[in-house]
Amino acid sequence: MSVRKSRHTVFNLGLGAALVTTAMVGTPMALDSTQHSLAGRGSSIQHVVYIITDNVHYSDIQQMPSVMHFLSQGTVLVNDHTVLDSHTQDGMLSDMTGKYPDQTGVIDQGFYEGSQYVSFAYWENKDPDGQPHVTTTPNWIAFNQHGWNVGAVGAPDMELESAREVTPAMMNPADSKPADYLGIAVHQANGQTIFGSPNLPYLFHAPSWSHPDQTLGGFPGWGDDTDLNWSLQATYEMQTHGVPVTFTYLHEAHEVNGKEALPGQYDATLRAYDTAFSRFFENMGKAGLTASNTLFVLTTDEGDHLMPQGELTTNLTGWLTNNSLYAADPSNLTVYGDSGALVYLKDNRTLPQVLAALPAVPGWDFVANPTELKALHMAVTAALDRTPSFVLFAKPDVYYGYSGSTEWHHNPAYVWNHGTISPDILRIWAGIVGPGVPAHQTSAQWVDHADILPTIYSLLGYDLTGAHFDGIPIASVHQPTHLQGEKLAKVLDAESAFKQLNAPVGSFGMATLKVASEAAVNATNSEGTRLDTLIQSWTQTRDALAAQLQQDILNLYQGRAVSPAKLAQDTDKAQSLLSTVTSFVQ
């Protein structure tokens, strides 16, 4: 399912949220709009507007004239890619942090932590494992350190996600509805955080764009039938009231009245999207926030695979615990069902037998064992219990449930699938408009989620080397004056090698996933051991080469000296490893 709060969350969420640990503001307080250094030297960016949509394809955007006209002022990346699993929460977090799931600690819409599943929650809240829900530094911190207030409008984990997270101290005495305090937060440069629109009077009492006789009021939720204008207007209100950096979530476009629809049936939704954006761009322009002083980023979390008859579903738990090769102990097994299903074993000593029995389990294409999860940046470093024993990537039409009958059936309620390995899911897009970004450009450069925030940093003139990004600045989007001509061509070559080597769905990741699938079904024999050892060796070499090549690229962007010979040598080493790995599976 495509909605942000998916059925997977509803089935499995058992999080008893801890209290928010960041500094909080309850009853109405004046917003600290003091700004300090803002953008770095050489940048004229005064505002950053980041908007991420849920399952909106580039073909959908092409049916939105106002959006296409606006994006023509900058660069559209038509060869962007997801992380794995390709789902809303982990994908958006990677896009908003520049880091892969092994750093964010969020590898799917939900994940298992010892005794329960957890899903969307506030960034700094403690999960059952005692670690913050998102295990990397909050993405607003660097902006705060440069003097920017940072707003969140429905953006995953940057705001309160559940009424269980709302405490009386957060609420305005004039509004005691916990739901009104979800979905909205302002992380101030002074270190305090304001939760909920009732604590932002300029937002709560703003006349609604959609209903001029009403005020904007509280956050309407994440449902696919909510008014897009609310989130875009909330973004506008923040941007015009001392919050120059905003992260905004918009629900998907393949819905009609909150239900998934086939192509041709959701045209009215696309028109509503375009109308809402048209009003947003117009009002931003009237307020003086244009491509001349504002950096706009518009992208999506993942693509969708169309299943006209509905997704083909079965109970994966049933197949794993009752098949002809090995019956796993149900008490030892927990499945987070999906088209990219996370499987957790309490006792991993039986993992080889479970993996070797997968030929008797129907419906899957690939399996990532523990070694491959490291290759795909899916092994969580700060919270080991979040890493599954293995991930089973289903065929594009298949959805794995975790309970009920093992009989196969089509579910016509869900005609779009994502989470697994399929080009229409993995390949996405991004549009970037603003100072320093080439205009009227469509770029086919291969990029992924982790490259967006480093590109924003680079355009702002911020230090890149201390941020521990997994991605790199996108050379087709930002071309500093010291990186031109032949030097730029060399950087593009280096970036291409780096991405194919390091990205989860790059050539290295997809090739090792094939080897891992073969290793898994041979997990109880010497061939499985040989292949697994090979992946481990490749990954160790990959990590070292990728780190060196990334450092070269970041140094070049920072204006530091990198000899052409060294850059060429590091690029060649990366290409050599890629050739070795990809030729192995041909």
Q: Cis before residue 85, ω within 30 degrees of 0?
A: yes
The reported pLDDT for the residue numbered 27 is 38
By the 8 A CB rule, do 139 and 48 touch?
Answer: no
What's the CA gap between 83 and 90, in Å, rounded? 8
Say what the pLDDT of residue 41 is.
63
Q: What is the pairing mode between strands 47-53 and 409-411?
A: unpaired
User: What pLDDT is stored for residue 365 in this prediction?
Assistant: 98
Whole-angstrom distance, CA of residue 480 vs CA of residue 160: 38
Cα distances (angstroms) measured from residue 216 to each of 149, 227, 238: 21, 11, 13
Could you read off the pLDDT of 363-415 as tens digits, one per residue? 999 999 999 999 999 999 999 999 999 999 999 999 999 999 999 999 999 99
Amino acid at 144: N
Which DSSP category does 196 fall into?
Answer: S
Residue pair 112/344 in contact (Cβ under 8 Å)? The answer is yes
**Mean pLDDT for the stretch of residues 273-284:** 97
Overall pTM surpassing 0.75 (yes/no)? yes
At residue 327, what are phi and psi to the nearest 5 degrees? -100, 110
Task: Give the angle subtended at the CA of 457 by the CAs of 456 and 462, to the nearest 5°.
Answer: 155
pLDDT of the residue at 513:
98
Torsions phi, psi for 406 (to 5 deg): -85, 0
Q: What is the dihedral of CA 409, 517, 304, 133, to 10 degrees?
A: 100
Phi-psi region of 290 (alpha: psi -120 to 50; beta: other; left: phi over 0): beta
Smallest CA-to-CA distance from 397 within 379, 413, 410 is with: 410
Spell out a b/e string for 54-81, using b for 16 or more CB atoms within 10 Å of the CB, else e.
bbbbbebbeebebbeebbebbbbbebbb
The phi and psi torsions of 158 (rounded to 5 degrees) equal -85, -10
Give the pLDDT of residue 578. 98
pLDDT 10s digits, 152-201: 999 999 999 999 999 999 999 999 999 999 999 999 999 999 999 999 99
Question: DSSP characters for 223-286?
Answer: -TTS-HHHHHHHHHHHHTTT--EEEEEE--SSEETTEE--TTT-HHHHHHHHHHHHHHHHHHHH
Between 16-20, 52-56, 510-514, 555-559, the lowest mean confidence (pLDDT) is in 16-20
* Whole-number pLDDT of residue 5: 41
582-to-122, 508, 577 alpha-carbon distances in Å: 40, 7, 9
Q: Distance between CA atoms of 363 and 319, rounded to whole angstroms?
A: 10
Residue type present at position 256: V
DSSP 380: -
* pLDDT of amino acid 115: 81
The CA-CA-CA angle for residues 273, 120, 510, to 5°, reads 80
Q: Which residues neighbour 5 within 8 Å (Cβ) at sequence distance 6 or greater?
A: 120, 222, 223
CA–CA dist 53, 301 (Å, integer): 7
